[in-house]
Structure 1
Amino acid sequence: MQLLQPQPKVNMSSLVHTLPTWDSNLTLDQVQRSLWSNANSEENQVDWLILHFNLWFSHHNVILFKGGHEPEYFPATSDEPAKIQFAHGFFNSALHEISHWTIAGEKRRLLPDLGYWYAPDGRTQEQQNLFEQVEIKPQAIEWLFAKAFGRKFRVSLDNLTGEGGNGQQFKDHVFLQVQRYFSGEAKLPRDAARFIQCICLCVRNGKSLHAVEFQREMLD
């Protein structure tokens, strides 16, 4: 098993890229049903997110909805669409679960919980290392989503009662993964790019995300 290794520092002066757009012809009229500026509470923002996600990805036969307890993904059936359930109605939980869904390919979207391996809180160091390996990309994409919405992002090692891993090293990896998406070294999943573009149209007056908006110290 290859464990997380320290990564070289990035020269921030060279990171002047914006993310590639999913569809240059996409317009605000096509993606906005209600004004984000009118969603002035956490509950209103969650409702706005559900309404718009379900519009933007209706072609995938999937819906986002609030869950009372733990997040979970339910594949589509012959009678119902696929469901992305996020925890306790929390906005950031929704962004995290959406990030996992955007990474999953067509085959994994046919599986409960997208086929992810998951060990609950209380993981050993070896289990924690595996957990962190598979969480780098989802949390990097979640940070992109959060930034597009103008919200605070915090990395999560999700192992309060176990061996917590190296938080600083994990933050390094999440930061560098974000920069790889901007530089083109890593390709942003198509549905993640669409989600970000739609958010930016509605929330940022169409302004794209820029690499310099993401600083390593923001994760501390």
Structure 2
Amino acid sequence: MHQIADLIAIFERTFYPRYNTRLVKGEHEPIYIPADAQTPYHQVVFAHGFYASALHEIAHWLMAGEQRRLLEDYGYWYCPDGRDKAQQAEFEAVEVKPQAIEWALSVAAGFNFNVSVDNLNGEQTCRFDFQARVHKQLLQLLKTGFNPRTTALLKALSEFYSTPWPLQAAQFVWQHPQELVDVV
């Protein structure tokens, strides 16, 4: 049901004419590459053709302002897998909002969302605590509204996949596993 070619086409229709940006299937690590002399358009490159990777990289692009979109990887800090506790905490702090947007994109596309702490070879943290922070951010975005680019893509995904629009908080019910234990 979730073909990467469909997502690429939706992104292309929604953003290429106005933002000169394309969603590109990469072979390895994801990256954002601004237009240059060799490639006349900006590229949101996602990993290995994975639908979830594409949604995640799109979320970063949707957050980036005009000046950030002129910089490789938006000029942001990134520390690869293998982060220590302090590095992982910093990583999670900057990932809350993009993962909240990714969650909204996933629901609009009818696609299963999973948070990613992206640190298999480093300090392990509580995935559920991170998901709780992402969920809280998502509910805040639903309340205050998404930026125009995000809203445009959410609508396009919802239309293509025939999912409910507009998005409602009830579509994002989640309880921390500790809360479930406390109820029993």
Aligned twin of 1:16: none
Matches within 5 A, 1:132-171: 132-171=92-131
Paired residue secondary structure (1:163): coil
Structure 2 unaligned spans of 5+: 179-184
Q: Identity of paired residues, percent?
A: 41
Tell me, in whole angstroms, the C-alpha distance in 2 between the residues paired with 1:209 and 1:218.
Answer: 22
Q: Residue 115 and residue 219 in structure 1: after superposition, are their counterparts in 2 closer, same or farther (change >3 A)?
A: farther
1:65-99 Cα shifts (integer Å, max 9, x gaps): 10011101100125510001100000110000000
Instruction: Report the count of equivalent residues.
Output: 176
Q: Residue 54 and residue 219 in structure 1: after superposition, are their counterparts in 2 closer, same or farther (change >3 A)?
A: farther
Paired residue secondary structure (2:40): coil
Q: Residue 206 and residue 155 in structure 1: after superposition, are their counterparts in 2 closer, same or farther (change >3 A)?
A: closer
Aligned twin of 1:57: 15
- Contact preservation (8 Å) 1:71, 1:87: yes
Higher helix share: 2
Would you say 1:107 and 2:70 are equivalent positions? no
Q: Specify the code of the residue in structure 2 equivalent to 1:67.
A: G
Q: Specify the code of the residue in structure 2 equivalent to 1:70.
A: E
Tell me, in whole angstroms, the C-alpha distance in 2 between the residues paired with 1:218 and 1:112.
Answer: 36
Q: Specify the code of the residue in structure 2 equivalent to 1:157.
A: V
Aligned twin of 2:36: 77
RMSD across aligned C-alpha pairs, in angstroms?
A: 1.8
Tell me, in whole angstroms, the C-alpha distance in 2 between the residues paired with 1:202 and 1:119.
Answer: 35
- Contact preservation (8 Å) 2:33, 2:43: yes
- Contact preservation (8 Å) 1:102, 1:192: yes
Tell me, in whole angstroms, the C-alpha distance in 1 between the residues paired with 2:161 and 2:56.
Answer: 19
Deviation at 1:56, TM superposition (A): 0.6
